[in-house]
Structures are given as C-alpha cells and as structure tokens.
Structure 1
C-alpha cells in the first residue's frame, strides 16, 4: 500500500520537552492492563515525538473512527455557519421541511442547530434505534417522532441522530455532500488524501460515525484545533468556531451501560467532549483525539478498547507528569526501538501444512460473525491456508505472519495455526477495530467464528468487507 504523505514534522521527546520514560511508562501501563491499542501518536509543540502501530496495523492504514467522526461533522457545521449559510438558531423544520412528520410535536418544531450540536434536544437516551424503527427510510423524520420527555436545552443525552440530522442540514444549505465538503475545505488543504466514509443505502455518510482516517490525520486534526484552525499559513476553520465547538456548553451525566469514566462527566461542547485536561473527540472502542492546550499537546489513539478510561487514565497519570522534564537521547532511542517493534500477539501453534478440514458453522455462539450452517473449508496453500467461508468469501491466512487479501473489495489481514486437532485463525478487518476469531474443530466438523468486539452497525463479516462500504443497506 502506498504511504500517505507526512502531515506533521518529526522531533524527539527530549527536544520537545517530554521524558521518553513517561511515554514508556504509558506503554507499560497499557500492556499491564491488556489494553488493545492499534496505534499511538504523541504530538508536542507541533512535532510528532512518538508514534507506533501494533502489527498488523500500520501507519498508512485508515482506521474506523466511530463517533470521533462527530467532531469532523461539527467542523463542517462551523464552516457552513461561517459562510452565512446556516446559523445556530436555524430550525430543523425550516432547513429540512421535506423530512418533517405530520405528527411533529411543538418541541420538535423548536429544535435548532444549537440543540443538535450540544445534544440537548430533549431525549434522555440515544434515540437511534427507536428513530430507525419508526422510520426505517428517514432517520430525520424518525428522530422527530420519538417523544421528548425533557425540555430542549435542559439536559444532555448522547443522541446519535442529532449528528446525522446536522450533516443533512449542512448538505442542504451548502449543496455538497459531507465528505465532499470536508475534502475540499479541510482534508485536501491539510494534505489528507485518503478519507473513507461508511454510508447508508442512499449514499449519505452517517455523519455520527463512519469516517476512516490514518492516525496521523487524526493527530493533524487535533493540531489544527490546537492552532485555532490555522494550518501552515492558511486558516481552514474560523478561530471563533474552534473556541465555540471545543468549549463547554452543557453538563454531562453518567450514561446507562457506560463505564464510570471521570472524563465522561466533564461536560460537552459542540460534538466534542470536555476532559479533565483539555478536550477530546472520541469514538467507541478507543478512537481518540485528545487535545491539551495547557501542555501544547495532542495525542491520537486507535484501538479495540472497551473502556475509554483505560487509555485516558494512563495519559493523565503517566504521560502528563513527564511534560517539561527533558530526558536523554539514549532514552529516546530505547523508546523509538520499542515503538518500532509493537505487535499484537500472533496465533500460536503449528503449520501442519498437509492438513485440510471441512466443517459447518455453529452460529449459536455469542457474537457470531457468520450465518449458521456456513460451510468452512481450510486448505493448505503457499506456506499458509485458504479459508473458504461459504460460496463467495475466500480469505488467505499466513502462518507466523499476517497475510492480506481483499475478497470482497476491502482488505482483511489474517494469520493462523493448528492447535492439536483445531485450526485457529484471527481475521483482522484491518481498517476497523474489529477482528474475527475462527476456530475449526476437525474432529467434530464444527466451526465457530466470533468477534473480539462486535461492530455496532452489523455482526455480518461479509458486510464489512464489501466495497463500497455500506453497513446499513436497509436504510434508504
């Protein structure tokens, strides 16, 4: 894969006033707590001072950002407002009149861009599932039909459709799709030439989810915000919008089914979370862009992390104490070598290259990635294996190394081994936080395929490997 251009200059921790040992301590903490990071980039005084990817993840790979996408949609709204095409007081019903249900409530009629950006529309919980259930083909209309138990502006609730509607409003007033708008106004001027978007069946970008960017592009976005919207000698985002979007607009409450994370209770801006230190764009499973102005610091993280505090706590407790403590060039070298060697654990076991097996998929296991009864065939080929998963999904698997293929248009990276009479493979959907563990019992003729973390849009492995990427094809 061709490398993306370098977006940020490089330096060393010592030259930028950070102790390399504090970054090493951060890595120690993550490893001790079995936190599955896929990448880490630390930027101080505008320079990348530490960067690493846990193989098979790598620098040139875009990674699904989940709800970190929301912060980019906020910037798109800010651009539309700066252009005089939208205002914080504009109402949904006025901008998107063709999406207004006949039974809309008076509160629904009053909802504005401000309420969407701050997620204070009046729902107590995320309305996404109910809104799509009420109106499978029109999420805007479905959202407006979900009852509002709280007054608008009174209470924050993490509510995904607010960002979807915001994206549609920006598109309506600018006449451009969200991806096209951000490509022209943000990504291309920054030098980001590879932004991918997950979409619904109509072709619209989710807005609240679905952007794929490299780790460096995420870090560069944080640096752009830290510099008040200026990139090089060019202003890309109005300073007023950066300050407004990353400022605190509402209190936040403990969200049901979320872990108790102190940073989740620090307040919410306009599609940005406030933190104990600075602010952040955040996506589920640990996709983070952390900006700490007081230290002139940006940290970008991707991973498959079930609890956000598993990363934020070590940042505050390990990394920040190393600010403004100059380390040694020797420590810098030790850290750089460690970062180069980061890797997720390979599948242990033997090659047994003459062995093949055919089995049926048992989907009764929780978090199954394949339909029940799928025929699974494992054949040895080229110092590895070829997996045939049903009639059309063929995946190449390496032994002692990761092997890449794109059976349906999007890449999957896989490695495997025999463990006694069981063949085990890890299938990384490499542009996402997710992977599938396939276990094939040759004696019983039974296979099981389960996700490490189930994708929020669909558990179907095939759906995440199709190109173009469209993980909600039932939504027009």
Structure 2
C-alpha cells in the first residue's frame, strides 16, 4: 500500500514539474482576465495623460506574469515591448542578481571585507560585502535627488565631480557609523559592489560578465548597462531592459534562483536577498531593505509597508516609479515602468488592484 502511494505521489510531482512553464525566446501567453477589477487597475495605472505635464501617475509599461505566462501587457508613450527602458535603481537589484552568480561560483563570501576586492576602501577595513548589500556601509552618504542637488552625494557621483570614477568617489567619503550597524540608502554602496565584482572576475571577463552569467542564460536579449569612465558598470542607476526581459529576473527570483533545470542562483543567496536587514529601523523608507531588494515585511515597530499585498512580496524599485514586484505565493511577477514626478503613485494601491485583477484569494 505504502509503495503504491509513494508511486502516486511521485507521479503527481512529476506532472507538476513537467507542467511548470518557462519562457523561451518569447513568453508563453495565457488569456488576460477581464472585468471590473482589470478596469479599476487600468484606470489607476493609465489615467488620461498629458505629455506636456509632469504631474500625476505616468505609467510607461505594465506587464504581468502568472505561472510563467504573460497574461497582461500594456504600454504608453514611446515605450513598446521592444524598448529597453531605463530602470534607475532597479539596477541595484540587477547587480545583486549578477553577484549571486559570482557567489555561486565561489568568488566571494558575504563576510569578506570589500577592500579585498577594492583596495581604495583600505581605510574602511571592516566593511563587508554583506554590509554593502544591506546599504549599511556606514559611509556618510546623502541620497538626495533633484530637490536638494547641492548637498547630494548621488547627484555629484552621477553628474559632476564623481562621474569619472564613481566607486572611488564613494570610497572617499568619511564614516558616520560602523559598518553593518545602520541602514542608509546609498547608490554609492551599489557602485562599490560593481567595482568589487570587477576584481572578482578579472577585467578581461568583467565587461561581458552580466551577459554571460545572467542575461544570456535567462534569454535576455536587449540589455544595456552603462559604465563610468573606468569601465565599471553603474550598478546604482544605468541598466536598461525591456519589461519582458526584466520579468525574467523576477521569475528567476520567484522560483528561488532556479531557471528550468539549473540552479542559477544558490538558494542561500536568494534567502539572503529576501531577509530583512537586522539593524533596520522602521519608517526610514517605504519598504524594508533586504539584500539589495525591498521587502514587504513587518519589522519591530511597524507593520508591512504594503498591507494589501502578501508578506512574501518583494521588489526591485527605482526612481520615478520603476518597479518590479515578485509575489511567490500568488505566482505573480509585475513589472511597471513609469515617469512619475510628483510622488502621487503608491505601491500598495497598484498591488491591491493588481491582486484583485490577477490573483486568487490573497493570504496576508
């Protein structure tokens, strides 16, 4: 009896594995759900648009993957399915994913001092790779944008005195806290990770490494990633992908680093990405930092930042409304590209509407 039951369970498991859907050159598609819930989502995401104005919600692309199938896709403005869109700080999560491949190859450990791979950090000998991935370098960095450009470290890095060598500019900052003790969001931390990767893989392989390690195995064919004058990828800001290609990263993360029959990212790496930074204190940002991803997790003193979405939701987020939400429990990946300038867009609102349109019963 037990042998027969085991064979039945194995057969069911085999059917589940074979039924799992993965994209080839194109995404497999399934019918788009229709009805009032979808209409409400579109009314929020795609309100009437005046391209002479910078006010209001301005979605450029919205794409939804469920169970590995493309079930919804809409574009606005000049953006199309073939447009590599600027991802802004989604680039940070992309660099974390590339680093996950290097981690699986044994090129570094989370507790390695960063100066091992980037010697200009020798005055910060206790700074580890994990600290940078948590945006917890302790470097005195000011992540202010166009509303406070004169005191902004990131504006100086991207556009003025730090532009030629962004990692060196970041490394030159003094400390305000010991490494690993305090969260302070920093585009500089992300560019230090990019510079460290160059040493790990070697300058000869570095220029092609994101493509060989990640993009090509996933079938991503339209990626662009700008570098600074030293040839270091601007991991903070300047990766461009189509919405369909970015969704491949989301599906990889939704399925715990597995792509088809290959474990592209180690399971413990993905778990690190999705675990809150232990020293994070609530109300510092609109999501909880993990390992260069953003989490919908309750932390001491605060409930989930996106209360209408499941607790396992995590995201890659970028300036002016760029977002990729991964919801493993609902088997959903949602990509949004945008040009929001006035702060009116709300992650929780879009997630609430998208879950009503595309998910089953949502568990908290």
The partner residue of 2:183 within 133, 152, 156 is 156
Q: Specify whether residues 123 and 244 from structure 1 end up closer, same or farther in structure 2 by C-alpha distance, changes over 3 A only.
A: same
Contact 2:257–2:264 (8 Å) recurs in 1: yes
CA distance in 1, matches of 2:180, 2:295: 18
Match of 2:15 in 1: none
Alignment of 1:213-362 (within 5 A): 213-250=241-278, 251=280, 254=283, 264-275=285-296, 276=306, 277=309, 278-306=313-341, 310-322=345-357, 323-324=359-360
**Shift, 1:312, TM fit:** 1.4
**Shift, 1:318, TM fit:** 1.6
**Shift, 1:224, TM fit:** 1.1
Q: Specify whether residues 31 and 136 from structure 1 end up closer, same or farther in structure 2 by C-alpha distance, changes over 3 A only.
A: closer
TM-score by length of 2: 0.76
**Shift, 1:76, TM fit:** 1.9
Contact 1:167–1:207 (8 Å) recurs in 2: yes
Determine if the alignment matches structure 1 residue 22 to structure 2 residue 37. Answer: yes
Match of 1:367 in 2: none
Determine if the alignment matches structure 1 residue 109 to structure 2 residue 125. Answer: yes
Contact 1:63–1:215 (8 Å) recurs in 2: yes
Determine if the alignment matches structure 1 residue 194 to structure 2 residue 230. Answer: no
Match of 2:18 in 1: none
Match of 2:134 in 1: 118
Determine if the alignment matches structure 1 residue 144 to structure 2 residue 171. Answer: yes
Q: Kindly indicate whether structure 1 or structure 2 has the higher relative contact order, using CA contacts under 8 Å at least 6 residues apart.
A: 2
Q: Secondary structure at the match of 1:280?
A: strand
Q: Specify whether residues 111 and 35 from structure 1 end up closer, same or farther in structure 2 by C-alpha distance, changes over 3 A only.
A: same
CA distance in 1, matches of 2:292, 2:127: 16
CA distance in 2, matches of 1:55, 1:193: 22
CA distance in 2, matches of 1:81, 1:143: 23
TM-score by length of 1: 0.59
CA distance in 2, matches of 1:222, 1:186: 12
For the aligned residue pairs, the C-alpha RMSD in angstroms reads: 2.6
Match of 1:171 in 2: 198
The partner residue of 1:8 within 12, 27, 35 is 27
Contact 2:127–2:180 (8 Å) recurs in 1: no
**Shift, 1:202, TM fit:** 2.5
Going by fraction, where is helix more abundant, 1 or 2?
2
Q: Secondary structure at the match of 1:116?
A: helix
Paired positions, count: 304
The partner residue of 1:182 within 210, 214, 222 is 210
CA distance in 2, matches of 1:131, 1:190: 31
Where in structure 2 are there 5+ consecutive unaligned residues? 1-23, 49-55, 144-152, 297-305
Q: Specify whether residues 266 and 63 from structure 1 end up closer, same or farther in structure 2 by C-alpha distance, changes over 3 A only.
A: closer
Match of 2:72 in 1: 50
Alignment of 1:394-405 (within 5 A): none
Contact 1:285–1:304 (8 Å) recurs in 2: yes
Determine if the alignment matches structure 1 residue 80 to structure 2 residue 102. Answer: yes
Going by fraction, where is strand more abundant, 1 or 2?
1
Contact 2:194–2:232 (8 Å) recurs in 1: no
CA distance in 1, matches of 2:344, 2:288: 16
CA distance in 1, matches of 2:209, 2:74: 31
